Structure formats: structure tokens, C-alpha cells
Structure 1
Amino acid sequence: MDCDAFYASVEKRDNPELRDRPVIIGGGKRGVVSTACYIARIKGVRSAMPMFKALQLCPEAVVVRPRMAAYVEASRAIRAMMDELTPDVEPLSLDEAFMDLTGTEALHGAPPAAMLARLVKRMEDELGLTGSIGLSHNKFLAKVASDLDKPRGFSVIGKAETAAFLHDKPVSLIWGVGQASQAALEKAGIRTFADLLRWEKEDLTRRFGASGTRLWHLARGEDRRRVSARAPVKSLSNETTFFEDTADPDVLDGHIWRLAEKVAARAKAKDIAGRVVTLKLKRANFALLSRRVSLREPTQSADTLYRTARRLFDQVGDKGPYRLIGVGLSQLEDDAQADLSGDLLDPGAAARRRAEAATDAIRARFGADAIIKGRALR
């Protein structure tokens, strides 16, 4: 189940005056689009697009700053509805999740398709939010199906029709195949699933490594990954792809801060901390740069994440331009030992840590946008 323009839908639900207007969720003129409603998308507005570009395409749009607390509350309500259908729910984000409905027909007295239809109707009736359903016999095909007819979509890919459905579809349909992967596949003469089927597994693996083996199986509609509600979290990360490549240091610094805040918020919500900070950069030519450093003690602090990732960025020595930036935290453990001593060489670290704790308390009481750093507006 994938919610339809989730953040924008929550804003329209909470403010009926926005219902028939194009809505963009994001920062100021120097910021980027977090998401946009379907009215704005018709005008060409897309996620990660610079705000100034989005407003050129859709000058009549209403720009709303993200209210993460409201989105989390709505997400939890949807998750509770899912949990009533099956214990096997694997969230991908606040607005998207896999569900394994195997064996639930006897419990609910209705087949999975009927239960999913009731789920999205209940979401709309009780929460004022819509979602799109993809129903199939594995995760890969369920994800594909959920994107076929958005918004308010309901698509089914049966086992018997899998081969015929995939045959002439472009490989870009595969989750994770971006522009760089597409270019590499096209260079090998692979544009559709039919093209993939002409390759032997060994040849695909030899050319594309582990991804080649995965492609061979997906070309046949095979995906053995299980829906796992309790998979251990190995890392936390957040990244953004720019609509236009940028080398602007202020813009990049603002993104590093926002990404660090998002990763820190997820760590705090899960009561975990990490010892390794990673910075990911993708150049305009799709070349990937990655830098990582181990900390003396685990952290879940946005300030520590930002300052560490910023130092990694300064060490790269490449001014860009870049098309993607990401911040990650790994080697996770419980937060009992997080940020105990701080940076002894930085006399302001303790004060910033207290300020961050105060900020978290204010946001918990008054909402995620109750207090923000000026750095976040870059």
C-alpha cells in the first residue's frame, strides 16, 4: 500500500481551503520540493526539484512547510489499520508498506483483495487519506502494481499472467534502476524485460555482478524476499536527488543539515545510536563518492551528524557539481551510551547538545515546524 501524495494529502485534509489548489511541501525559495500534490505534478513539479524551479512551473502553488509530527500521527493510524489485517507488515517509509496476507482469508472471511479494498476505503472514510494498492505473489511485483494506476489505484498481477505482463515493459520499472543503471543496460542492448530474458544468468552476472543475478530473477518475475516486520535495522540514511545539479556550497550545506536532522530524528524515534557516519555524493556524470568515519562513541545527535558529515564533505576536495547527496549512520546499538562525553576539543558541544534536547522537547509539544535552524532554510 502506497499513500497518494501523502504529505500534501495530510495538509489538504487539515486545511480544506487547499483542497482544489496546487500544494507543494518544502522550504523557502532556496529550498527543494519535498513532495507535491497531483495538481502541481500536472504542471511538472517533482520531488527534490529546487523550489524556485517548481514555482516557475506552477506560480499559483501554495507552499507549505513540512509538519512531520502530523505526518507521523497519520502514518501510525494507517499502520494500526494494517496491523488489524496481518502481523506481517514491513514499512518502507511513513507512507508505504508491504503486507503479507498469506493465510488471512480464513481469519477475516474474505480474500486479500477484498480486505485491501476495505483498508483503503477505511483510510479515506476515517482519516481522509487515500492510497494505492498493488497485489501480487511477491514484493517486486506488488511494488510495481502499486505504481500502475495512482492515485486511488488498485492493480493485481497474478502468477499466471506475470510473464505476459512483464514481457514488453521497460527495465526502468525495476525498483532501484535509475538513469545510470538504465544507461548501462541500454549499452548492453537491454531495454525491456524481453531483452533480459535473452541473457544467460552467468553472462548477466559477469557483466553486472550481483545486480545481474538479481535482474535475471526479476526478468522472470521471481523475488524470494520475505515480508519482514521485525528485520533488524542495520543502518539509517537519508538522501536527496537534485532536480538540477548544483555546486552551490550554501545549498549543499543546507542539505547536509536537513539530512542529518532526518537521520537523527529516526535514530531518536527508534532509541538507537550509531558509531559510523557516512557521506554519499553523486557527481553530475553519475560517479559515486562515499566517505565514512568512525566516532569514539555512538551518536544520535543531529549536530554531531551534521558536523561530521560536513567535515567529510570538506575532505572530498571536489567542488562538484553534484546530482545527489546523502547522510547515513551505521554500526547501530541502543542509545544508552549515546553522546555521553561529547567532543572534548569543542567547548561549545555541550551547549549545542542541550539546545538540541530543548528543540526536541519543543517540537514534541508544538510540532516539527515549531522551531527550526536558519541553516535549514538554505
Structure 2
Amino acid sequence: MKLCCLLLPNFPFRCETLRQPELAGRPAVVTYSVGSQKLVLDHSPGLKGVERAMPLQQALSRQRELAIVQADMAHYRGIFDIVLDRLEQVSPLVEGSVLGDIYIGCGGMERLYPDDRALVQVARQTVPADFEVRCGIADGKFLSRLMALNNSSDGFEKAAGDIAGLLKDMSCDLLPVSLKSKSRLHDFGLHTLGQLTALSRPQLEAQFGPEGGLIWKLARGRDNTPLYPRLSEETIEESTSLPSPVTSLEVLLLAVESLLIRAFGRFGTRGCGVRCIELWSRTSAAEYWQKTVHFKEPAMTVAAALRRVKQVIENCPQPGPVEELGMKVVRLGRPGGQQSSIFTEVRSSDKLESDIQQLELKMGAPQLFKVKEVEPWSRIPERRYTLTPLSR
């Protein structure tokens, strides 16, 4: 499928310069946290030796005088969504899963745009002038992205003719693989895509596992990754600023409950429930935390949604005291029909199970247990059986 790739280089950093103009022209990095480790999300244009996903300490060892900016993912995503919304007026097939990387489906657009140049011209005009735009057209995501990276003018690059010749001198660092795999490729003396084409697929898979097969295909310009266009669904956003930094789980849940009440108030009369929530927070140290909460069945009440959100917050602790909290309801749904049994005994059993679940939710812990065999052959009596909650 023919795709047009629009790259917005250094997108997070340029978003920061819009609200902090003093960063323009300075060597700087935008960082985010993964557990206790800080990684580079983006950097100022032209900064050598620094790459995305690189540990901050490694970046500082290569560039000592760096301005460090904590990533504000909600801000970047908001600006990026505005760009994607505008581009959907150009083509209905727009994918933007990675900040700054946009793919547009070109198939069936001949009546609107007589040639590729006309499509690219309209797309460029749609993107705000604050961002640099590079365009490339090819069959497949990887090849179109390489063409965009190779373009630095107001036009576009198109893959045609000898694909192997186009790729042979390009760096292995352009491959969409892990930083560790790129480092190993250089350790083996493999610096360009042309050098990779001299190797067989089994040789690469022997060293890199399944990622080796991907490297083998991409080095030859083969990429059958499908386009995943955005789904036009209603989203509901709510956020709040806390009076003071909060670390207590109970206070966080009260804030989440308040946001859920406001969100449910905007769609509660439609008979819909929540199927997916994007929950985010910002700490007093400007660290960003985000998790996507999925629901197997639509949560029809605030209490049902809060129970699932509580599980996520407990399993994924905050990176620090929380100052701001927000959520985006990205998918709504209706509950599936559930038919009761015609047998009285089964209906009674179902009602009893429901009553037990309500009791446990109210008490906050399992209240009824059953004896289950674990190691009946054991010589130690205590290891032969165990108590498990009746509701499991």
C-alpha cells in the first residue's frame, strides 16, 4: 500500500519551545521516567551523540552542558491530536501512534489530488508553521519513513527504481529496533543497511532472535506492517489540580472518583459505560505518569470504574507526590445481554454469588473461603490443603 510519511522532527522539544522560547538554540533534552531510570524522549535539533530512549546519564556523559526538561506528555499529545485532526481533512486514513511520526494512506485519492505533489502540498499546509515537516512516499511504513528522513526541502522524496541502491549507504541506526540491537550491530562492524543485505536471515536470527528476521526484511526495504488509521470516537477529558502534593492512595482515589463523576455526568443518560480510560498524573517534580485502563465489560457506574482504576494505581505506583491528575475516556460501550437461567437452583446460586461479591467489596477483603487440595500426597498436613476465596 502506498503511504505518505510526514515526519515532524524533534516534536516534543519544539512543543516545549512554544511555551519556553528561551530553550531555542540551547542544547537540551526532554526526559521521562521508567521506574527509577530517566530516559531521553527527545532533544534539541542537531545535538550529536544523543538518541531517543538513551539513559540520561549516558547523554550527560556525551554532552555535559544540557538543559533538562521533564516531559509533559499530555501537552504534547494534545498538540499532536490537533495536527492529526487537521490531516484527517486531507485523507481519512491517518495514523499517528508515535509523537511526530504520521502516516497517510494515499490509495483512492486520485480524484482529490491529481498527483503525489498535490497531496504533499496540502498536507504540508495543514501542519502549523512552528514545526519542521519532512515528507516521503513509498510502499510501506519503513521505506516511506526513510524517504522522509532523506528529504530536507519543501518537496518530498519518493522511493522508485533501485531500492537497494537507495538504502545501501543508510545507517543501521535508522532501523526501528531496540537501542541494544543497534549497538550490537555496530559492534559486529555492521554500520549500513547495505552491509546487512550481505547476510542471510538465519545468520541474523541466530544473533538477534525474532528481531533478526525483522532486520533482514527492513534492510531490503520490505515492510508489510499494516496502516492503523485513527478511529473517530468521542473522547471525554477531565483533569484537576490538587491543593497540595499528594502521596496517599486514598486521596488519589477520591480525586479519581471526582473525575469519574464528572465524566459519567456527561454521558450517563445514554445507557453507555466506560470501556477504556487513559489515566495520567504529574508530580511536583514535573514527572509524568500515564496508564491505560481497560475494562473487560463496560463499567456502568462510577463505583465499578473506580474498582478497576484502584487496581491499576496500586500495581503501578506514582513516581512522586502528585500535583495534577487527569483522565481521558477514549472508548464507550454498551453492556452485553445476560440471560438468566430457567432453573430456580441456578438463579439462586447466581444471586448468592452476587451477594458474596457485594459483601467482599464492602468489607474490602474476601469473607468466605473454601478448602482446596494442593498437595494431598504431602506428609505435612498443613501443605495438603489451603483456603481460597469462594468467589474465585
- Band of TM-score, shorter chain: 0.5 to 0.7
Deviation at 1:164, TM superposition (A): 1.0
**Aligned position for 1:156:** 157
Unpaired runs of at least 5, structure 2: 1-5, 232-282, 298-306, 320-330, 336-357, 367-392
Shift of 1:57: 3.3
1:214 equivalent in structure 2: 214
Residue of 42, 62, 69 corresponding to 2:74? 69
The answer to whether the Cα contact below 8 Å between 1:134 and 1:142 also exists between their aligned partners in 2 is: yes
Deviations 1:39-61 (A, max 9, x none): 6x258586644379649935473
Residues 8 and 36 in structure 1, CA contact (< 8 A), matched pair in contact too: yes
Measure the CA separation in 1 of the matches of 2:145 and 2:310.
31
Per the alignment, residue 377 of structure 2 pairs with: none
Query: What does residue range 90-239 of structure 1 map to in structure 2 within 5 Å?
Result: 90-109=95-114, 111-125=115-129, 128-148=130-150, 156-176=157-177, 178-180=179-181, 183=184, 187=188, 192-201=192-201, 210-229=210-229
CA change 1:153–1:180 in 2 (3 A) is farther
Distance, in Å, in 2 between the alignment partners of 1:184 and 1:21 is 32
Change beyond 3 A, Cα 1:305–1:97: farther
Q: State the Cα distance separating 1:74 from its structure 2 match.
A: 0.9
Quickly say closer, same or farther: Cα 1:8–1:201, change in 2 above 3 A.
closer
Report if the CA contact (8 A) 2:171-2:191 is conserved.
yes
* Aligned partner of residue 38 in structure 1, secondary structure: coil
Q: Residue 28 of structure 2 contacts residue 66 of structure 2 at CA under 8 Å; is this kept in 1?
A: no
Q: Percent identity?
A: 17
- Residues 343, 119 of structure 1: alpha-carbon distance in 2 compared, 3 angstrom cutoff: farther
1:159 is displaced (CA, Å) by 3.1
RMSD value, Cα = 4.8
- Is the CA contact (8 Å cut-off) linking 1:7 and 1:35 kept in structure 2? yes
User: Structure 2 vs 1, CA of residues 301 and 334 (structure 1 numbering), >3 Å: closer, same or farther?
Assistant: farther
Q: What's the CA shift for 1:211? A: 3.8
Aligned 8 A contact 1:22 1:37 in 2: yes
> Any idea what the Cα deviations from partners look like across 1:29-77, whole Å, max 9, x if unmatched?
x9554422226x258586644379649935473x444333332221111
Please state whether the residue corresponding to 1:11 is helix, strand or coil. Answer: helix
Cα 1:342/1:130, change in 2 over 3 Å? farther
Call closer, same or farther: CA 1:153–1:218 in 2, change over 3 Å.
farther
2:11 maps to amino acid: F
Give the unaligned 5+ runs of structure 1: 232-254, 276-296, 310-332, 347-378
Give the TM-score normalised by the residue count of structure 2: 0.52
- CA deviation after TM superposition for structure 1 residue 201, in Å: 4.8
Structure 2 residue 45 is the aligned partner of structure 1 residue 38: yes
Q: Is residue 2:314 matched to residue 1:304? A: yes
4+ residue segments displaced more than 6 Å: 257-260, 333-337
Aligned residues between the structures: 263
Q: Is the 8 A contact 1:137 1:159 kept in 2?
A: no
Kept in 2: contact 1:144–1:174 (CA 8 A):
no
Computing the radius of gyration from Cα coordinates, the structure with the larger value is: 2
> How many Å apart are 1:258 and its aligned residue?
10
Change (3 A) 1:207 1:123: closer
User: Matches of 2:314 and 2:334 in 1, distance apart?
Assistant: 17
State the SS of the aligned residue for 1:119.
helix
Q: Aligned to 1:261, what secondary structure does the other structure show? A: strand
SS at match of 1:218: helix
- Distance between the aligned counterparts of 1:172 and 1:43, measured in 2? 12
Matched residue type, 2:45? Y
In 2, distance between residues paired with 1:69 and 1:175?
24
CA change 1:64–1:302 in 2 (3 A) is: farther
AA in 2 matched with 1:303: I
- The one-letter amino acid of 1:116's match is V
Secondary structure at the counterpart of residue 144 of structure 1:
helix
Question: How far apart are residue 79 of structure 1 and its match?
Answer: 0.3
Matches within 5 A, 1:53-64: 54=60, 57=63, 59=65, 61=67, 63-64=68-69
Q: State the match for 2:289 in structure 1.
A: 261
Residues 105 and 227 of structure 2 are in contact (CA less than 8 Å); yes or no, is this contact kept in structure 1? yes
Q: What is the rounded CA distance, in whole Å, between the counterparts of 1:33 and 1:191 in structure 2?
A: 23
